[in-house]
Amino acid sequence: MFITFEGIDGCGKSTQLSRFAKTLKETGISLVVTKEPGGTEIGQAIREILLHVDNNHIVPLAELFLYEADRAQHVSEVIKPALEAGKWVVCDRYFDATTVYQGMVLGQHEELIELLNNEASLGCQPDITFLLDCPAEIGLERIEKRYNNDKKKDRFERKTLNFHIKIRYAYLALANKHKDRFKIIDSTLPEDQVARKIREIISPYLPEKG
């Protein structure tokens, strides 16, 4: 199984992903937990370039290629070998993030993105994508609470409310287009309830006990 988590910044994705991974490990599933950008050593260097606040002048095409370069390395080094070995892979963001951020919101050519996503993912399609959905105001509030000042926020977290609103609706539109794969979870609910909903969705896929 290949499971991805998506959502706007501050949607609670990281918290839920680590709770989810813990639940899966408890069931004895052999699991790889990873993320984009930055799921490999090369990817970490790419992530540094992408998220650094000094790199605001990066041109959109260079940004797109870096996300895809990160993905190409990540899929071939981590995701594909793990899936081929029969492991479960849980990934914090994947190609839907590029479709939404670089494509639907930042305006890069849809066909180019589809082509690059296909090439970089080497046929590894998520079986389930959890979209943790919350209003952009709530996401930004959570980011504010996480950091006491502007210094530690990355390049995307510093973007405006309007940007985050667009990202939210782009994700919802994409989820609507791929209803079979996307599971939209209301992440304004208390943390335990969100975790329970995710568990309920995954439970039919878990191996039988005993």
Q: Where along the sequence are the contacts to ligand TYD (CB under 6 A)?
A: 9, 14, 35-37, 51, 67, 92-93, 97-98, 101-102, 154, 156
Of 65 and 206, the one with the shorter C-beta distance to ligand TYD is: 65
Give whichever of 184 and 206 is closer to ligand TYD, judged by the CB atom: 184
User: Which residues neighbour 153 within 8 Å (Cβ) at sequence distance 6 or greater?
Assistant: 53, 143, 147
Pick from 6, 64, 60, 62: nearest CA to 35: 6
Q: For residues 195 and 185, give the distance between their C-alpha atoms in angstroms, rounded to a whole number.
A: 10
To the nearest whole angstrom, how small is the minimum distance from the Cβ of residue 162 to ligand TYD? Answer: 15
Minimal distance, residue 154 CB to ligand TYD, in Å: 6
Residue among 82 and 108 whose Cβ is closer to ligand TYD: 108
Nearest distance, CB of residue 21 and ligand TYD, angstroms: 15
Q: Shortest distance, CB of residue 27 to ligand TYD, whole angstroms?
A: 26
Which residue's structure tokens are 């029969």? 86
Question: Nearest CA to 96 among 179, 12, 171?
Answer: 171
Q: Token match 């606040």: residue?
A: 53
Radius of gyration of the chain (CA): 17
Per-residue b/e over 95-134, b at no fewer than 16 CB within 10 Å? bbbbbbbbbbbbebeeeebeebbeebbeebebebbbbbbb
Residue 95: CB minimum distance to ligand TYD, A: 7
